[in-house]
Amino acid sequence: MHIADQSNDQLSQVSQSARRSPLTMGLVWVTMITSFPTVLIGVEWFKKGFSLQQVLVCTLLSCLLLLLYSIPATQLGARSGLGYCALSRTIFGRWGTWLVTGNLLWVFFAWYGVTAVWMAYALRDFLHVGLSVTLMSVAFAFLMAFNNFFGFSGVANFARYFAAPCLIAWVGYTFCKALSIAPATAISEPAHQTFFVALTTISSFVIGFAAWGNEMDYWKYSKGGVLRSAIPLAVALLIGEIIFPVSGWLVARVTGIIETGPATTFLNNFSFAGMAIVGVVILAASYFAANDSNLFGSCLALESLRPFKHRVSVTFMAVIGAVIAAFLSVTDSAKTLEVIAALNCILMPTPTVVMLTEWFLQRKFFQRDWDFSYVPSFADLPSIRWPATLALLAGITVGIATAGIIPALEPLHVGICPIQAWLTAAVIYAILRSFEYASERSDRQVLAAAQQESEEAKAVVRTSR
């Protein structure tokens, strides 16, 4: 294996001996897409007038759409042994890679900060701690960095032995209890919104919350094989993005509580039998595990640009995360979550879709395999790869324009914004890359013909002598 930057471990393939089992990867993924906001969003969907049938159908459709993206993305990581930023180099060029990496860093910083704020709110609301939310948010931003000092092993072990079992037990108990008190007629009650509105709203949240975009950074530690990623992904989505939101909807239907504050208080008593300390422990498991993954992805991105020592990058990222947590602690957290989720599912997965399109084109049309053993240094990269960069910018533009986060573009808020962004990028890249490949093949043929003519001319000269 040849790696252009030998000093940078993040550009090296993960060895087979370091790969984890599907069970471990599934437990890690449960912690990454299951969180308290996913049960509160069910309350919000009830408030918006979505029926239980709409919630069930739309969450299921959203998860199926997400699997169409997630399974190939995880397989790219597992088969290559490389992460998000390493794979982006040959596709996007030098400046395109900076754009992709920069988007990852600021989006993950935002998630890291808002998750630290959620933990501070949990401490305030459940245990009635009188400290400033801002102060607690900053403190948690630093505490949540601890597991990352031990690399992926620290992240995986915390998820496998503590966080995931806590979350699975919590989700299962909450769902069964909510189901037991909900009336049987709930499933047949009419909706107050159209199915199209429900699908647009629900899919944007589910895909925005559960599509990380840099799946390769985590699944490069998995063994290859479609079922090895499909089953863990499907189970994690069932737990985090179907069962938990439905539980929130059922609670709102039974109690009539539709505001976040009262819903949080009720769910404390409902899920944890009023034992606030139990609630804090389980929420801490959820939020700490989620930020383990956020910080891990951020550090990989930073280390792909420059070979920092891992503990130095963890410390630096924790400081940045603490600053952002302090800022977000004084903003509208619900609106912040909506904006971050909408941007996350556009900015992060769209480059991955471009990479997957390249992988598909190489195998099916160009009749060659992507050489995963070679990762070029920045010095060896072209300044920009236009097909990938233009496709990325087009996809991002379509996604943001249709996401509903810019008030002036509200008339364009139609459809499923991430899917529209991904399809735009994939189609444009496939067209531009095919033209580029045809041009490269023509140039190679001309060069080969010229070389052949040169050899023939030399042969004639030698013969005449």
Q: What are the pLDDT digits (tens) for 368-378?
A: 888 888 888 88
pLDDT over 70 for what percent of the chain? 91
333: pLDDT strictly greater than 90 = no
Find the mean pLDDT for residues 291-297: 88
* pLDDT tens-digit series, residues 404-418: 888 888 888 888 889
**Residue 162 domain-assigned?**
yes
Helix 151-158 and helix 276-305, axial crossing angle in degrees, nearest 10 = 160
Give the model's pLDDT for residue 36.
80
pLDDT higher for 159 or 383? 383
Contact 128, 268 (CB under 8 A): no
| CA gap 169, 66 in Å, rounded | 24
Q: Is residue 5 very low, low, confident or very high in pLDDT (cuts 50, 70, 90)?
A: very low
> Residue 353: is its pLDDT beyond 60?
yes
pLDDT digits 0-9 by tens, 23-54: 989 988 988 888 888 888 999 999 999 999 99
Predicted structure pTM score: 0.87
pLDDT of residue 154: 67
Query: Which has more confidence, 182 or 4?
Result: 182
pLDDT of residue 2: 36
Closest CA to 35 of 292, 326, 414: 292
Does residue 397 fall inside a structural domain?
Answer: no
Contact criterion met (CB below 8 Å) for 305 and 291 = no
The yes-or-no verdict on residue 3 having pLDDT over 80 is no
Given a cut of 60, whether residue 204 has pLDDT beyond it is yes
Instruction: Give per-residue pLDDT as tens, 392-450.
Output: 999 999 999 998 888 888 888 888 889 999 999 999 999 999 999 888 777 677 666 66
- What domain range includes position 278? 9-332
What pLDDT sits at residue 454?
A: 67
Which of residues 12 and 207 earns the better pLDDT score?
207
Burial (Cβ within 10 Å: 0-12, 13-18, ≥19) of residue 415: middle
Residue 461 lies in a domain: no
Closest CA to 86 of 343, 378, 310, 345: 378
- The answer on pLDDT for 236 being more than 80 is yes
- pLDDT-based confidence at 305, cuts 50/70/90? confident
63 pLDDT band (50/70/90 cuts)? very high
Short-list 82, 41, 70, 74, CA closest to 58: 41
Q: Read off the pLDDT of residues 71-89 as tens digits, 9 standing for 90 and up.
A: 999 999 999 999 998 999 9
> In this structure, is residue 275 part of a structural domain?
yes
| CATH classification at residue 220 | 1.10.4160.10
At a CB cut-off of 8 Å and minimum separation 6, what does 258 contact?
Answer: 43, 44, 46, 47, 252
What are the C-alpha distances in Å from 387 to residues 21, 88, 157? Answer: 36, 13, 40
Q: Is 364 domain-assigned?
A: no
The pair of structure tokens assigned to 50 is: 């979505």
Looking at residues 127-143, what average pLDDT do you find?
Answer: 92
**Which whole number is the average pLDDT over 203-211?**
88
Q: Sign of the CA dihedral 329, 330, 335, 340?
A: negative
Give the separation between CA 317 and CA 171, rounded to whole angstroms: 31
In a domain, 443, yes or no: no
CB-based contacts of 53: which residues, under 8 Å, 6+ apart?
187, 188, 191
Predicted confidence at residue 324, as pLDDT, reads 92
Residue 98 lies in a domain: yes
Q: At residue 6, does pLDDT exceed 60?
A: no
Domain count, the chain: 1
The CA-CA-CA angle for residues 118, 339, 238, to 5°, reads: 70
- What pLDDT does residue 339 have? 76
Q: How many residues does the chain have?
A: 465
Q: What span, in angstroms and rounded, lies between the C-alpha atoms of 90 and 97?
A: 9
- Tell me how far apart the alpha carbons of residues 65 and 71 are, in angstroms, rounded to a whole number: 11
Is 267 contained in some domain? yes
Percent of the chain residues past pLDDT 90, beyond the cut: 45
Looking at residue 368, its pLDDT comes to 84
Question: What is the pLDDT at residue 112?
Answer: 92
N-term to C-term CA, the chain: 47
Q: Which helix (H) or strand (E) holds 3?
A: strand 2-3
- At a CB cut-off of 8 Å and minimum separation 6, what does 204 contact? 341, 342, 345, 403, 404, 416, 417, 418
Instruction: Decide if 67 contacts 230 (C-beta within 8 A).
Output: yes
Per-residue pLDDT reduced to its tens digit, 214-230: 999 999 999 889 999 99
Cβ distance 449 to 439 under 8 Å? no
CA distance 179 to 182: 5
Q: Would you state the pLDDT for residue 280?
A: 86
Name which of 7, 3, 12 is nearest 221 in CA terms. Answer: 12
Mean pLDDT, the chain, integer: 87
Least confident range of 13-17, 42-46, 58-62, 242-246: 13-17
Which range has the worst mean pLDDT, 6-10, 66-70, 374-378, 403-407? 6-10
